[in-house]
Each structure stands twice: as structure tokens, then as C-alpha cells.
Amino acid sequence: MSYDTLVVGAGLAGLTTALRLTEQGQKVVIVARGVGATHLAPATVDVLGYLGEERVDSPASALTTLLTDVPGHPYGRVSRQQIGASLEWFCRRLERLGYAGGLDHNGLFPTAIGVARPSALAPRTMLGGDLRDGGRFLFVGLRGFKDFHPSLLADNLAHARLPAPVTARALELEPPAERRGDLSGRLLARRFDSGELTDWLVRALQGRVEAEERVGLPPVLGLRRADETLADLENRLERHVFEVPTLPPSIPGMRLYDTLTAALRKAGARLVINAAVVGAQAHDGQIESVQVASAATTMSYRTHSVVLASGGFASGGLTLDSRGAARETVFDLPVAGVPEDGATRFVAGYFDAQPLSRAGVAVDDLLRPTDRDGSPVYRNLHAAGAILAGAVPWKEKSGTGISVATGYAAADAILAPSAVGVSGSIG
Ligand SMILES: Cc1cc2nc3c(=O)[nH]c(=O)nc-3n(C[C@H](O)[C@H](O)[C@H](O)COP(=O)(O)OP(=O)(O)OC[C@H]3O[C@@H](n4cnc5c(N)ncnc54)[C@H](O)[C@@H]3O)c2cc1C
């Protein structure tokens, strides 16, 4: 088996790189141990939501300050033009899911606990929840679905710091029972896909939605035809309707994964899921083949280029041993950004800027992992997404943006290396 590019990982970074390379005519294989954080995260693309404690209105402006403060940030390895182009490309490729937004302004979307979350791009099913212009909102819960509490959401939103006044109220509805017990997001999504819950919801909300109110629902409008369901609900209720992301698993994230993998298969890429990349054979500074272990056997894949998109600690791209040493698990690359011995690794607040979250692989302008003196470890190995050193994604709200921008830029580096070379430049 021989490929132009082998991509390690099927998270947002790996899928972005693979799709962009495939549409440019490359023969691409993705090898992934399993699905990535798409199935857990809300499916928005968050380029930069916070700079320190300040909520960011314009990622385009705030990126300049970020890179002055943190020159080793992954965004310092791509140009602002590439970040903007990656978002435009993403909206075009994900047209079916109706992604909208851009680098100039963050939208502000409610979370299930009533926090206003800044995102650069959101899918069509969430756009109606943008809080920037204020307005009146009705949040509707489905009894039995435990991960969505509309009154908590509405109360917290009423106290949130928002650019325009918002009024919010809550309503809890009892969906017709299919069986006893808790309702899962998948089960509800299946029942919306069949149309059964759409008809019920319209009837249940008839006469209960006040004038000018927008209707926020849990993110379960279907896996296959959420857009049609949304349009149907909006037409029949004559109101804007939107989904509010909540705890994992993420139905909107599954839609994103399904759409990207369907596009990849259609374009001719091969996906090998449930197999792990366990090493590589290199000659003269170039990887020539990659070892892939599945349940049955270990095979060798020959490839011209490799993109490492194996995620951070959460996905096993990085591990930490009992003595606190961090390791890159696929190619045993040097790990940068680990706090020195004795320095603080973790701080008390779960969502605070955790020093260890900056750990990852350092890369050059072609996104190639580098050794301690800054030289590429392999000339044809690139890295993208959460495996990169330098970011504090949970605090910055930047994880998905980094994956899309660096996934896109890794493809650029493979397709036209001489056109890339941007270290630190964001202009
Ligand atoms: C619950 C949750 C909520 C989040 N919320 C947000 C949010 O609101 N906003 C935001 O911006 N970000 C959020 N994030 C973070 C964001 O999702 C990630 O930063 C980003 O998607 C990482 O993408 P990735 O492709 O780099 O890695 P991942 O999505 O982690 O994918 C890594 C891939 O590599 C594969 N892999 C690992 N090792 C191997 C190997 N040896 N061989 C083969 N495959 C391998 C894995 O199986 C997986 O497919 C959230 C994450 C989680 C978990």
C-alpha cells in the first residue's frame, strides 16, 4: 500500500488536512485509533474566545496581542491569511451543515448552563441563538433528557454579561414515551430524524411561544436531517429555532464527523478506523513507511508525507508518566512546553490556564516537529491540532480553531512548501 499522505488521527485536524489534500488530487489514507473530540465538543469553530480574562469580540484583532504575549502559540506558525482562508474553506466544504461566521467577529452562543460562548463559526442549527443583538428567548427542555435544564440556562443567561439586553424563560415538555427511563441524545435524534418528535413538538409549542421569542432546544434535532427538521420547525412555529450545545456525547459533533468522512470517502480517501500507528521507518531524515497495528496484524504503509494529528493528552497523542515526564506516543518526538521540574504544572481551577496544557510538539514554519535545536525531526512529517505545543485551548477557547487552521496549513505545507513560511507573522 502506497499513499501520497498518511494522516494519523480522525479528529477535526486530521479530517481537515485529509479532505484538503484529497480535493487537491492526493491519494490519502487516514489511520485512527478511534474517533476524536468531534463526538464530545460542541461543533462550533472557536478561533479565540478569551484573551486572559477578557472575552474576545474580534479574533482577527486579538490574535496580534496573543502572539505578542505567546510567540510559541500554534497560531504563530500559520499566517492570518491562512487562518481566514481555512475558515472560508470550512464553510464552503461544510455547506450542507450551513456553517457561517468568520475571523472578524465572534458570535455569542448560549451553552446549556447559560454562559455566552464566543465562537468564530457555528452550524446553521445554532445560528439562531446568537446573543449579540439581545432579544427574547424561550428555552425548551425535554423531560427525561438529563443534560439540559432550561430553567438553569434561562436564569444564568439573565445574569450573563451581554452586549444587548436578553430576556429568557424556560419550559419543560414531556415527549411521548417510547420506553421508560432516561432519554439519550442519540435516541431523541433518531426520533427527530423520523419526523415523529417534530410533529409532537410543534403541537406542544402551539400557542406557548410569545411574540418575537426565539426557541432554544437541546442539540438533538437529528443525525441525518437536522437541517430539514430545523426548517420545518421554523416554518410551522414561525419563529427562529436553534440548538444549544450541552454535555457529551455531541450530536452536532457527530453530524460534523459524518459529513467530513462522507466527503472524504466520496473524494476517494481511505479511512482506517480502529487501528493505531505504532511507529515509522525512516531513511536519510525522511519517513518512508508507517507501521499500523490493528487487532489482527501489524502492516506497513508506504507514504510520501505524514501528518500527525493525534490530539493531546485527552486522545492519547501525549501521555504523562508517574514521574511527570510527558511523551509523544506515536513517533516518540521531543515534547516542548512542559513546565520545568519543580515548577507549577496544575493550578486549582479546572478551567484555569493549566501550565501543562501548553505541552506538545514544537514545529517549524512548515508545521514539521522539531528537535531541541529547531531542526525538523523528519523532513516529511507535519503536525496539526491539539498535539501542537503552546496553546491553553480550554482557557482561550481556541481548540477547534487551532485544529482547522493548522490542519489546513499542514496541507498547504505539503502541497506548496515554498509558498509557506510565516513564523510569527500574523499580518
Ligand atoms: C468535552 C470536550 C469539549 C470541548 N469543547 C471545546 C469547545 O467548546 N471549543 C473548542 O475550541 N474546543 C473544544 N474542545 C477541544 C477540541 O475539541 C480539540 O482541541 C480539538 O478538536 C482537537 O482536535 P484534534 O484533531 O487535534 O485531536 P482529537 O480530536 O483529539 O483527535 C485525535 C485523533 O488521533 C487518534 N489517535 C491518537 N493516537 C493515535 C495513534 N497512535 N494511531 C492512530 N490514531 C491515533 C485518535 O483516535 C483521534 O482520532 C473540547 C474537547 C472536549 C473533549
How confident is the model over 189-230, as pLDDT tens digits?
999 999 999 999 999 999 999 999 999 999 999 999 999 999
Q: How far is the CA of 236 from the centre of ligand 1 (A)?
A: 37
Q: What 3-state class would DSSP assign to 408?
A: helix
Answer whether residue 1 shows pLDDT above 90: no
Which atom of ligand 1 has the smallest separation from the CA of 40? 1
Q: How far is the CA of 385 from the centre of ligand 1 (A)?
A: 8
How confident is the model over 223-264, as pLDDT tens digits?
999 999 999 999 999 999 999 999 999 999 999 999 999 999
Burial of 297 (0-12, 13-18, 19+ CB in 10 A): exposed
Which atom of ligand 1 has the smallest separation from the CA of 15? 25
Answer whether residue 270 shows pLDDT above 80: yes
How confident is the model over 295-311, as pLDDT tens digits?
889 999 999 999 999 99
Answer whether residue 80 shows pLDDT above 80: yes
Closest residue by Cα to residue 226 from 206, 203, 197, 246:
197
Cα dist. 238→53, 209, 235 in Å? Answer: 38, 10, 5
In whole angstroms, give the CA distance from residue 55 to residue 20: 31
114 pocket-lining for ligand 1 (C-beta < 6 Å)? no
Residue nearest atom 33 in ligand 1 by C-alpha distance: 9
Out of 108-112, 144-148, 358-362, 380-384, least confident range: 144-148
Looking at residue 421, its pLDDT comes to: 53
DSSP state of 176: P
In whole angstroms, give the CA distance from residue 112 to residue 116: 10
Q: pLDDT tier at 60 (50, 70, 90 boundaries)?
A: very high
Q: How far is the CA of 71 from the centre of ligand 1 (A)?
A: 23
Q: How far is the CA of 275 from the centre of ligand 1 (A)?
A: 16
In whole angstroms, give the CA distance from residue 215 to residue 71: 42
Q: pLDDT tier at 423 (50, 70, 90 boundaries)?
A: very low
Are 423 and 74 a contacting pair, CB within 8 Å? no
Pocket test for ligand 1, best of 46, 298, 310 (most atoms within 8 A of CB): 310
Q: pLDDT tier at 424 (50, 70, 90 boundaries)?
A: very low
Which atom of ligand 1 has the smallest separation from the CA of 315? 30
In whole angstroms, give the CA distance from residue 241 to residue 128: 6
261 pocket-lining for ligand 1 (C-beta < 6 Å)? no
Could you tell me which residue, 350 or 396, shows the higher pLDDT? 396
Entry pTM: 0.96
Pocket test for ligand 1, best of 400, 404, 406, 408 (most atoms within 8 A of CB): 400
Looking at residue 165, its pLDDT comes to: 95
* Type and span of the H or E element at 211: none
Residue nearest atom 6 in ligand 1 by C-alpha distance: 41
Q: Residue range 12-26: average pLDDT?
A: 98
252 pocket-lining for ligand 1 (C-beta < 6 Å)? no
Could you tell me which residue, 422 or 60, shows the higher pLDDT? 60
Q: How far is the CA of 104 from the centre of ligand 1 (A)?
A: 25
In whole angstroms, give the CA distance from residue 117 to residue 327: 32
Which atom of ligand 1 has the smallest separation from the CA of 35? 49
33 pocket-lining for ligand 1 (C-beta < 6 Å)? yes
How confident is the model over 351-389, as pLDDT tens digits?
788 888 899 999 999 999 999 999 999 999 999 999 999
Are 389 and 335 a contacting pair, CB within 8 Å? yes
403 pocket-lining for ligand 1 (C-beta < 6 Å)? yes
* Type and span of the H or E element at 139: strand 135-142
